[in-house]
């Protein structure tokens, strides 16, 4: 039959992990695979003699949370993994069921249709066979050596080299994935590894070491597990003088309003709640990396236009790091009203006068003028890429007064926003 080894590996590992959590020494686990030729079905069963699943939980076993018990620590992640496995099984038009008896043990049964495809369909449908490697999340005999990847089995850190692409010239941006669930981390890596270099750490200490050594472009971390506190990690990253500009995505099985508020206070750039689609993950990553690239370009442009010797300013690493942090906050707060200068000073741990001195020393601009320049540069880029109403773009960039925005834009770029948006390059 045709099948996706990656999906089957995740499903079987999830069932095995669930059984191991309930089994004690001398308990028995039996994994078997068979077929029903008459029905055209493949049947996979995993039985164990470990602790039985409470009868009241069985109806909700493949749901993300148990009713009225989703806040219990022991429930976090357990049902989500089974829920995720069920989602994968249903992609094959299969189904999964479970029976548990205090005296007989627990049996999980997975039923999949036996299907066959033509050669071209099969190639797109199934990846390399990993079923022989179910004893470990990362296969012992994989293609890591061919790609130049490294896998440290002692601390379970997996690193996909961010080195050369096929032509040996272009390097992939590195994404660090932090979590203690090896199945999920490996699955995330499989989604991203075609476009990004991947580093995986199973705890905060490993993550901070990778950040120090590799300086990834983006970090994806579990919000809260037994081994990882993504909120705490995020706070440390954003408090670092060297790594604070790295975007951080927190992923969680349970996302409440309080979690989001606390996460954003810790500096999180985005949240993803399980289950999320591959497309959603890739879109969020792309957007955050594009924003970071835009901020760097903005800083370089501003430094170049405000220094007598542009290269001298750009080579000052401390100034660039400082301005990237300031610019990142200005971008983040663009669509909001309020005292942006006080907010900047607070987040940079400076008084408003100290902030003004730092910005003026780096750019020759006052804080107010620097904020204006950043917002105008952002508006310029949006006008080049979008045909949105100019008033809406002005609001997105922090301008509540359209007339003031138009005057400032013309003074900075020599033409009105309307004229600039109509230029030919804006249509591409």
175-206 per-position pLDDT tens digit: 999 988 777 777 788 888 888 988 888 888 88
Matching residue, tokens 């012992």: 140
User: What is the reported pLDDT for 255?
Assistant: 64
Domains and CATH numbers, the chain: 5-125 (3.30.565.10), 136-276 (3.40.50.2300), 291-427 (1.10.10.60)
pLDDT at 337: 66
Q: What mean pLDDT do residues 158-169 have?
A: 43
Average pLDDT over residues 245-261: 81
Using the predicted structure, report yes or no on whether residue 113 has a pLDDT greater than 80: yes
pLDDT for 138 beyond 50: no
Give the confidence band of 303 by pLDDT, cuts at 50, 70, 90: low
In the predicted model, is pLDDT for residue 228 greater than 80?
A: yes
Question: What are the backbone angles phi and psi of residue 200, rounded to the nearest 5°?
Answer: -125, 130
- In this predicted structure, the answer to whether residue 48 has a pLDDT above a threshold of 90 is yes
DSSP summary character for residue 51: P
Q: How far apart are the C-alpha atoms of 284 and 18, rounded to whole Å? A: 31
* Residue 150: per-residue pLDDT: 42
Under 8 Å between Cβ of 211 and 246 = yes
Angstrom CA distances, 103 to 22, 96, 379, stand at 14, 22, 68
pLDDT in tens, 402-421: 888 888 998 888 888 888 88
Query: Residue 153 class from Cβ within 10 Å (0-12 exposed, 13-18 middle, 19+ buried)?
Result: exposed
Phi, psi of 199 (to 5 degrees): -120, 135
pLDDT of residue 127: 39
| 153 or 221, higher pLDDT | 221
Residue 163 has pLDDT above 90, yes or no: no
Return the structure tokens found at 341: 């200068």
173, pLDDT greater than 90: no
In terms of C-beta distances under 8 Å and separation of at least 24 residues, what long-range contacts does 103-109 make, across chains too?
105/47, 105/48, 105/49, 105/50, 105/52, 106/19, 106/22, 106/47, 106/48, 106/50, 106/52, 106/53, 107/45, 107/46, 107/47, 108/15, 108/18, 108/19, 108/45, 108/46, 108/47, 109/43, 109/44, 109/45
Alpha-carbon distance of 97 to 109, in angstroms, equals 5
The larger pLDDT score, comparing residue 85 to residue 167, is at 85
pTM for the full predicted model: 0.47
Name the residue with higher pLDDT: 2 or 118.
2
Name which of 41-50, 165-174, 406-415 the model is least confident about: 165-174
Is residue 187 a contact partner of residue 231, using CB atoms and an 8 Å limit? no
Separation CA 377–CA 292 (nearest Å): 14
The rounded radius of gyration (Å) of the Cα atoms in the chain is 26
Q: Please give the pLDDT value at position 79.
A: 63
- Residue range 134-158: mean pLDDT, rounded: 35
Region 4-30: mean pLDDT is 85
pLDDT for residue 129 is more than 60: no
Report pLDDT for 254. 67
pLDDT at 317: 66
Cα 22 to Cα 49: distance, rounded to the nearest angstrom: 9
Q: pLDDT tens for residues 311-342?
A: 344 445 677 778 888 888 888 887 776 788 98
Tell which wins on pLDDT, 361 or 420: 420
d(CA 333, CA 340): 8
Whether pLDDT at 78 is above 50: no
Give the per-residue pLDDT at 73. Answer: 40
> 283 — phi, psi (to 5°)?
-65, -40
Quickly list H helices, 267-351: 278-306, 310-315, 317-332, 340-347
Q: What are phi and psi of 294, to 5 degrees?
A: -65, -40
Contact 94, 110 (CB under 8 A): yes
Share of the chain above pLDDT 90, in %: 11
């Amino acid at each position: 039959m045709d099948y996706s080894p990656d999906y089957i590996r995740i499903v079987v590992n999830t069932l095995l992990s669930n059984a191991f959590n309930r089994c004690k020494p001398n308990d028995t686990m039996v994994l078997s695979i068979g077929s029903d030729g008459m029905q055209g079905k493949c049947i996979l069963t995993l039985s164990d003699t470990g602790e039985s699943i409470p009868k009241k939980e069985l109806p909700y076993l493949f749901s993300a949370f148990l009713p009225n018990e989703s806040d219990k620590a022991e429930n976090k992640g357990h049902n989500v993994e089974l829920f995720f496995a069920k989602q994968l099984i249903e992609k094959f038009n299969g189904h999964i069921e479970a029976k548990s008896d205090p005296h007989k043990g627990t049996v999980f049964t997975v039923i999949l249709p036996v299907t066959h495809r033509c050669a071209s369909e099969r190639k797109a449908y199934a990846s390399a066979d990993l079923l022989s490697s179910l004893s470990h999340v990362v296969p012992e005999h994989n293609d890591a050596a061919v790609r130049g990847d490294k896998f440290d089995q002692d601390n379970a850190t997996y690193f996909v080299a961010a080195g050369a692409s096929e032509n040996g010239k272009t390097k992939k941006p590195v994404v660090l994935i932090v979590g203690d669930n090896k199945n999920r981390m490996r699955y995330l890596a499989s989604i991203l590894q075609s476009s990004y270099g991947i580093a995986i750490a199973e705890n905060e200490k490993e993550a901070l070491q990778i950040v120090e050594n590799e300086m990834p472009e983006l970090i994806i971390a579990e919000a809260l597990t037994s081994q990882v506190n993504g909120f705490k990690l995020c706070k440390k990253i954003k408090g670092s003088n060297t790594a604070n500009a790295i975007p951080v995505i927190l992923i969680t099985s349970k996302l409440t309003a309080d979690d989001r508020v606390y996460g954003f206070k810790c500096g999180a750039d985005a949240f993803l709640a399980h289950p999320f689609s591959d497309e959603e993950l890739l879109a969020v990553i792309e957007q955050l990396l594009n924003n970071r690239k835009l901020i760097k370009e903005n800083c370089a442009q501003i430094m170049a236009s405000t220094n007598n010797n542009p290269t001298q300013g750009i080579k000052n690493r401390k100034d660039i790091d400082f301005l990237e942090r300031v610019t990142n906050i200005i971008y983040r707060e663009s669509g909001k009203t309020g005292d942006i200068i006080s907010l900047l000073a607070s987040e940079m741990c400076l008084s408003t006068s100290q902030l003004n001195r730092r910005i003026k020393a780096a750019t020759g601009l006052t804080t107010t003028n620097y904020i204006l320049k950043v917002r105008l540069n952002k508006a310029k880029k949006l006008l080049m890429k979008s045909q949105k109403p100019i008033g809406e773009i002005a609001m997105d960039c922090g301008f509540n007064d359209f007339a003031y925005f138009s005057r400032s834009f013309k003074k900075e770029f020599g033409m009105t926003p309307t004229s600039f948006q109509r230029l030919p390059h804006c249509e591409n």
